[in-house]
Amino acid sequence: MARPNPTYLKRLMTEEKELIKENGKYGYYAFPRRNNGNCNYLKWDVYIVGPPESPYEGTILHAELEFTTHYPLSPPKMRFLSKMFHPNIYENGNVCISILHDRVDEFIAYESPDERWSPVLNISSITLSVTSILYKPNINSPANVDAAKLYRENIKEYEKKVRDLALKESVDLKTFIQK
């Protein structure tokens, strides 16, 4: 039986140390999920502070990153646990952005391979990219067509719908941040 590759674990532990140093400085918190005091480095909780001047301002949204033992050669999957209405987030919460697409995935006309996952990217890169689409969605390649349509046709109504949902789904960060 093949032995697990320890590279992913070393990389994720290094990223955890860097994220502890940042401590929310860039508008997000991320850490491995803990069960009974044990770290699960393959599942991370991510808390994103809603970007200023966006419908998410003043809210904290909960997401998760799920890694495989092939990380960093393969990207993780990201899913919002807070319910979202956003052009680049599927109804089930899965995030659809280029950097989470593997370079070997099928050809996508609107994406260059350079926009896709690369092992030099990390949890910070992913979270900053997601924060940027919360501020300015990419409506050219929507995961949620209804959200993209409303954004295009009536941005005020879109922003109200997003704002109401974000306020309802916002979490209390103090409950989740580990000391």
How many Cβ atoms sit within 10 Å of the Cβ of residue 108? Answer: 13
User: Is pLDDT at 17 greater than 50 in this prediction?
Assistant: yes
**Catalytic residue set:** 96
116-148 confidence digits (pLDDT tens): 899 999 999 999 999 999 999 999 889 999 999
Backbone angles phi, psi at 123, to 5 degrees: -60, -40
Q: For position 107, what pLDDT does the model report? A: 52
CATH H-level, domain 7-176: superfamily: Ubiquitin Conjugating Enzyme (3.10.110.10)
The DSSP output letter for 99 is G
User: Is pLDDT at 16 greater than 70 in this prediction?
Assistant: yes
Note whether 64 and 78 are within 8 A (CB). yes
Backbone angles phi, psi at 52, to 5 degrees: -60, 150
Maximum C-alpha span of the chain = 57
Q: How confident is the model at residue 2 (pLDDT cuts 50, 70, 90)?
A: very low
Average pLDDT, the chain: 90
Say what the pTM is: 0.89
51-98 confidence digits (pLDDT tens): 999 999 999 999 999 999 999 999 999 999 999 999 999 999 999 998
Q: How confident is the model at residue 23 (pLDDT cuts 50, 70, 90)?
A: confident
